[in-house]
């Protein structure tokens, strides 16, 4: 499975605890949210981007 390079485009590494699987999520067009979907059960999640930013690049969701 080849993946195009997204260097420069911000993303977060999300652990979907529902299925114990990691997935990258990218910012939506507005740049205010990260949108992600569990690749296994297709549950959608949305992260609000903190105004001051966050050093953390990894999150887990339930």
Binder among 6, 17, 32, 41 for Zn ion (CB under 5 A)? 41
Please list, in sequence order, all residues whose beta carbon lies within 8 angstroms of the beta carbon of residue 60, skipping any fewer than 6 positions away. 14, 15, 16, 17
Q: Is 18 in the site for Zn ion (CB under 5 A)?
A: yes
How far apart (Å, rounded) are the C-alpha atoms in residues 14 and 6?
17
Binder among 38, 49, 59, 61 for Zn ion (CB under 5 A)? 38
- Least gap, CB of 22 to Zn ion (angstroms): 11
Q: Is 16 in the site for Zn ion (CB under 5 A)?
A: yes
């Amino acid at each position: 499975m080849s993946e195009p390079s997204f260097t420069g485009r911000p993303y977060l590494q999300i652990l979907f605890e529902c299925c114990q699987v990691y997935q990258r999520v990218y910012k939506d067009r507005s740049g205010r949210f990260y949108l992600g979907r569990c690749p296994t059960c297709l549950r959608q999640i949305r992260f609000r981007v903190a105004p001051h930013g966050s050093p953390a690049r990894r999150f887990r969701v339930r």
